Amino acid sequence: MNTREAIISRRAIKAFDSEHVMTDSEEKELLSLAMLSPTAFNIQNWRFVVIKDNALRKQIRAAAWGQAQVTDCSLFIIICADLKSWEKDPARYWRNAAKEVQDFMLPVIDSYYRGKDEVQRDEAFRSCGIAAQTLMLAAKEIGYDSCPMDGFDFEKVAQLIQLPDDHVIAMFVAIGKGTKPAWPRAGQLDMGEVVIQDKF
């Protein structure tokens, strides 16, 4: 399946085969591809919390208003972001770059984020959204369905996964073998309403 086909055929699937087990190599491939998603200044601020413990999945499902995808999918990922990744040894993000690039980038990273909580949070959600779409399209390409999710008690889930204070939860992504098709598309807006040329 090519990228275009994956984009067209990817839908949010709510029912998964709870007996299907994803192979370790499939899981590693999907996470490796997600880690190629772009981030500003290459700070790689996403964190993929893979929930394998069945008891914990049940607790998270309860915090997600009983949505079955949490427990029934083959790969359940809570996509989080480290808000302070920009200041945690940022030289490692550019270790393979030329020295003049490093000398330029490191001060720029610091000045862009330091003291700007809103910028740090906005960047976290941008990065996680891109990574989630990468995961879902990659899953579709290898024959899996997926469901992006934000219908849950963020505070409760943060407690359950012992989320560090300097991290945020962006969303869930459930991946597995779908057992029911998605509902027909409910209605796409006309391109003329969403594509603006030059100015509003």
Find all residues with CB under 8 Å of 140, minimum gap 6, and list them: 1, 6, 9, 10, 146
Whether residue 154 lies inside any domain: the answer is: yes
**pTM for the full predicted model:** 0.96
Whether residue 118 lies inside any domain: the answer is: no
A 10 A CB-CB count for 142 gives 14
Q: Domain with 135 in it: what CATH number?
A: 3.40.109.10
Please tell me what DSSP assigns to residue 86.
G
Output the pLDDT for position 1: 81
* Domain range enclosing 67: 3-85+123-180
Whether residue 136 lies inside any domain: the answer is: yes
Whether residue 113 lies inside any domain: the answer is: no
Output the pLDDT for position 179: 97
Whether residue 142 lies inside any domain: the answer is: yes
Counting the structural domains of the chain, the total is: 1
Q: pLDDT tens digits for 130-157?
A: 999 999 999 999 999 999 999 999 999 9
Q: What does pLDDT average to in each consecutive run of 10 residues of the chain (200 residues)?
A: 91 97 98 98 98 98 98 98 97 96 96 97 98 98 97 98 98 97 92 96
Whether residue 167 lies inside any domain: the answer is: yes
Output the pLDDT for position 99: 95
Whether residue 103 lies inside any domain: the answer is: no
